[in-house]
Amino acid sequence: MIKGNILNFEVSDLESVIEKYGEKSYRAKQIFKWVHQLGYTDFSNMSNLSLSLRDFLRQNFTVSTPMLEKEVIAADDTIRWVLNLNCKNSIETIFIPENNRGTLCISSQAGCAANCGFCQTAVGGFNRDLDVSEIIGQLHFARNRLQQLNVNMDKITNVVMMGMGEPLLNFDNVVKATGMMLDDDAYGLSKHRVTVSTVGITPKLKELSKKSQASLTVSLHATTNKLRTEIIPINKKYPLEGLMNVCRNYFPKESKRKITFAYLMLDNVNDSMEDAKRLVKLISNIPAKVNLIPFNSFEGAKYGSSPMARILEFRNFLVEKNIPTTIRKTRGDDVFAACGQLVGDIAKRTKTTKLMHNIVKY
């Protein structure tokens, strides 16, 4: 008998299972807390459940996370985990510690079909979407692993869906997993501290605004359709005009929440003052902030990173125009854990040209 993985179950799913077994539905929240809030994997230790319920769970379910394949700790204490999915695929999860926060960067797919020209993940092709247990399982694994490494469990204060894959191409599973991250009976993270990052799958972005309270980062990286399509091919299907329109109305105005626009600084490609002026115009009527990202190179990359002097000039111009702007600090690049450097090990790689055809029909 194949056992079900409890990490795939939302509370409502667990309630149905428990009620069918003949127990009260509130037992589902107790199980949820044991698994997610406390990090338990052995049903036998869930002491406020009856012995018969524990036995039922043990016989029919498991708590299975992706398995550790490789762990590398960078000079700046960033941790790079390569996690095996038991299907000849490996993904990468990154923990970035800072003085007052700890950010976990989570993958949503084995590989990526978006084929962005600046990202090493695209080089490896695409295999499949991760299921809910493989997404939330990265958080479950990371918290328990940090305990083993004598790092405070509460050190994971932020989760960003910025690892391998395009989250909105795995929409349902990402929404369920981020919902668990926000659930007070699970990980209890603030909606301001769980972020979904996307290149802009416009129809799914509209749906996300209705189904998730998570924060949003949009990978913009260019201010014209011509250039953006060159570096983010999916822009051909979902161009800037439609994307900006969705962003303009993404958060209710009364919420005062802002979209973060990520902007990769590519040397002599998108880093001129004309680009800065177009960026200001493009997002001028959107509640927004900008995160400028120095490009992290990799073997075979066709771009270079803008000089820091030019990045600072770009930032200063945006700030003068009253746009909150930060420069992302590169972390973990000595162990290839920096933004855009995640590759994993993707089995049976599919050519992205075929996948792009499917995305266009998405």
Distance CA 335, CA 288 (A): 32
Q: Per the residue annotation, which of 15, 23, 92, 134 is the catalytic one?
A: 92
Q: Which residues, in sequence order, are bridge partners of residue 82?
A: 70, 92
Dist CA 161 CA 57 (whole Å): 30
Sign of the Cα torsion 293, 295, 296, 300 reads: positive
Residue 116 annotated as catalytic: no
From the centroid of its chain, how far is CA 145? 19
- Going from the C-alpha of 305 to that of each of 47, 86, 216, the distances in angstroms are 54, 36, 25
For 272-340, the DSSP string reads SHHHHHHHHHHHTTS-EEEEEEE----TT-S--BPPHHHHHHHHHHHHHTT--EEEPPP-SGGGT-STT
Q: Per the residue annotation, which of 105, 119, 247, 339 is the catalytic one?
A: 339
Note if 87 is an active site residue: no
The residues annotated with a catalytic role in the active site are 92, 339
